[in-house]
Amino acid sequence: MEVNENLKHTLSILPRKPGVYLFKDVKGRIIYVGKAKSLFDRVKSYFMPNDNANYINHPITFFTSKIDSVDFIETDNEVEALILESSLIKKNRPKYNFNLKDDKSYPYVAVTDNEKFPRIFITRNKNIRGAKYYGPYINIKNTRNTLETLRRIFQVRDCRKPKPGKVKNAVCLNYHINLCSAPCMGRISEKAYRQNIEYIKLFLKRGENAIVDNLKSEMASFASRQEFEEAAKVKYAIEAIEEMLTAQRISFASYDTWDILAASRDTKSNLAAVSLYNYREGELAAVNNFIISNVMLVDEKEIISGFLKSYYLEIDNISPAIYIPFAIEDADAISKWLSDLKGKKIEIKVARQDDKKNIVRMAAKNAFLYLEKKKFEKSSGYSRAFKELLRLKEAIGLANIPSRIECFDISNIGPSFAVGSMSVFTNASPLTSNYRHFKIRAVEGQDDFAMIAEVVSRRLSYLTGSTMDIEDSFYMKPQLIIIDGGKAQYNAAKKVFEEKNIDDIDLISIAKKEEIIFSENHPDGLSLDRHSDYMKIIIRIRDEAHRFAINYHKKLRSKYMTRSVLDGIKGIGEKKKALVLEKFEDIEDLKACKLDDFIKIKGLRYTDALNIYNSLNRY
């Protein structure tokens, strides 16, 4: 393939050392992150001549044309490269690195270690920022009882209250029933609270023996210093844990536990599935399935490798042995990385004994069946959301099943700051990353119909005459467009459709209060049961568009008013206004400032700061 001069230069200076490489597109966005034993050999392999056999068989040749530049970071060894690769993928979520999705079939215990006073709770969501996970646990009742007992012993919170130390009201019920030490009210120091968290983590990670041994040492230490009250508290904790263990138990990773995993891949659907079997003390404790997208780039070995790196990074009580179906290139590096990360030896082994091989075959079959199930659901939409969208199609008489719906609204209070908004639902759920704002450009006054026409026209222009195929953007074609308004608004949008020859997208409008729908099949309006699930989809996306438009309108109005209060102040021109507005975005922030706050703004002189402060506080 042809490469630009920038790429040629980069390829010529690549070291023959381990490291990480980042492919970027023309806009500088990272679209793929990979690691290599030799950056020179690995990166150059992507840009071989088209007739080269290695190039033809390379898994990512289909997107090399999108690569505009390459960055690389040299590391001392392959383990460092692996750690850096995982970190960069997690941070940037590149478009062409595969994406792991959990089926959330078994619960985990999450610890929000990134918070000053961490929370501990049961969850099936393994995408909580900064959390550490323990599990999965098959017996949810025992897990909940065990966790509640641990919380009673160590007094840790599970709430989402304001930041600890910031609450001025009375403590909550959990404090009064001895389930929380009330860090929100400053009733416990951060150090003491963290110690309690560490005890629970130790219990979840290594079981009761480790925590009891540690507590006995602490009790002895208190007793030797004649701190008998503190020693008695620790003694209570030991007795409570031992009593709990006679009543219930949850499984922990010990040296006679292991994990077994296998994968199934389908390039046509660009999906793969991984089945993970967790064995605890020789017995099957849980089976979790995962769906991975963007697998056109990778073979099954890379799927297994990628899963090991992404899944186990977040899990703290890892089994000491992980069995996989076949050897992978970076097994030793991943083993060393996980062992260092988790503080214990973790081995990645190929299943060779008959009993393990049989389980691998079972996992592979399960992965295949799970993938087939997900492919069927994706193609047929055999789900509750799909059924409601199908009912919506039939109720209104749409030509398409509206898997992607876009709704447009105008916020126009007075002659100034008229704005439009677009909310987006896919499969009946909000896709907030695709929401868009519009500043009205061509319409003066309060002509809502002309504004609707402008916004819809600007949105549809991305679909006409374009050969681009960009996911999650204006280039994704909706099946249904909804206008917030009545018959007149519908007709304004319909005229734009006719001008642009759009005949493969359904168009409706929904009037507020009565919730009457106008469409091609119902020019005089259609009233549907507003309590039906499919009607709730329309009302919800309409409300989202309205909320999004109002918020944008308020933001623009506040920004204008904030800028206006700085007009006419001696010595404050456009550049100095910009410096102030970078720090303070609204009037309330500005009026709450002290003189020192303005003096600290780089680029303002003392007299400028004084003039601004006096102007804002003259009334």
Rounded CA-CA distance 88/30 in Å is 10
Do 201 and 238 lie in one domain? The reply is: yes
Do 393 and 522 lie in one domain? The reply is: yes
Classified as helix, coil or strand, 359 is helix
554: tokens are 């308020």
In this prediction, residue 53 carries a pLDDT of: 42
Give me the average pLDDT of each 10-residue run along the chain (619 residues): 74 89 88 89 78 45 75 87 83 78 71 86 78 74 76 77 54 74 82 85 70 75 75 73 55 65 87 87 76 81 89 82 92 90 88 86 88 74 75 91 90 68 88 85 78 91 58 74 93 93 92 88 90 91 87 62 66 79 68 82 86 75
Using left for φ > 0, alpha for ψ between -120 and 50, and beta otherwise, residue 491 falls in alpha
492 and 420 Cβ atoms separated by less than 8 Å: no
Do 395 and 497 lie in one domain? The reply is: yes
In this prediction, residue 456 carries a pLDDT of: 92
In this prediction, residue 252 carries a pLDDT of: 47
Domains held by the chain: number: 5
CATH code for the domain of 37: 3.40.1440.10
Residue finishing a domain among 351, 379, 407 = 379
Q: Tell me the pTM.
A: 0.48
- Listed residue (155, 147, 154) closest to 215, CA to CA: 154
Write b or e for each residue in 245-257: b if 16 or more Cβ atoms lie within 10 A of its Cβ, otherwise e.
eeeeebbbbeeeb
Residue finishing a domain among 247, 280, 314 = 247
Listed in sequence order, the residues at least 6 apart from 36 whose beta carbon sits closer than 8 Å to its beta carbon are 18, 19, 20, 21, 42, 43, 81
Strand 436-439 to strand 419-426: parallel, antiparallel, or no bridges (unpaired)?
A: antiparallel
Rounded CA-CA distance 562/352 in Å is 70
495: tokens are 């005229």
Q: What DSSP string describes 28-90?
A: --EEEEEEES-HHHHHHHTT--TT-HHHHT-TTGGGGGG--EEEEEE-SSHHHHHHHHHHHHH
Residue finishing a domain among 222, 247, 272 = 247
Inside any domain, residue 287:
yes
Q: Which domain holds residue 125?
A: 108-247
Inside any domain, residue 428:
yes
Do 545 and 440 lie in one domain? The reply is: yes
Inside any domain, residue 410:
yes
- Listed residue (249, 299, 313, 251) closest to 278, CA to CA: 251
Rounded CA-CA distance 575/275 in Å is 58
Q: 267: number of CA atoms within 13 Å, CB side?
A: 8
CATH code for the domain of 340: 3.30.420
**Helix spans in 466-532 (H):** 487-499
CATH code for the domain of 448: 3.30.420.340
Please provide residue 32's backbone torsions phi and psi, each rounded to the nearest 5 degrees: -160, 135
Do 395 and 519 lie in one domain? The reply is: yes
257: tokens are 């536990």
Q: Measured in Å, how far apart are the chain's first and last C-alpha atoms?
A: 69
Do 393 and 375 lie in one domain? The reply is: no
Do 357 and 400 lie in one domain? The reply is: no
Q: Which residues pair with 509 in a beta bridge?
A: 483, 518
In the structure, how many helices (H) and strands (E) does the chain have?
Answer: 20, 20
Q: Where are the beta strands (DSSP E) in 427-555?
A: 429-430, 436-439, 480-484, 506-510, 516-519, 526-527
Listed in sequence order, the residues at least 6 apart from 273 whose beta carbon sits closer than 8 Å to its beta carbon are 263, 264, 289, 290, 291, 292, 367, 368, 370, 371, 374
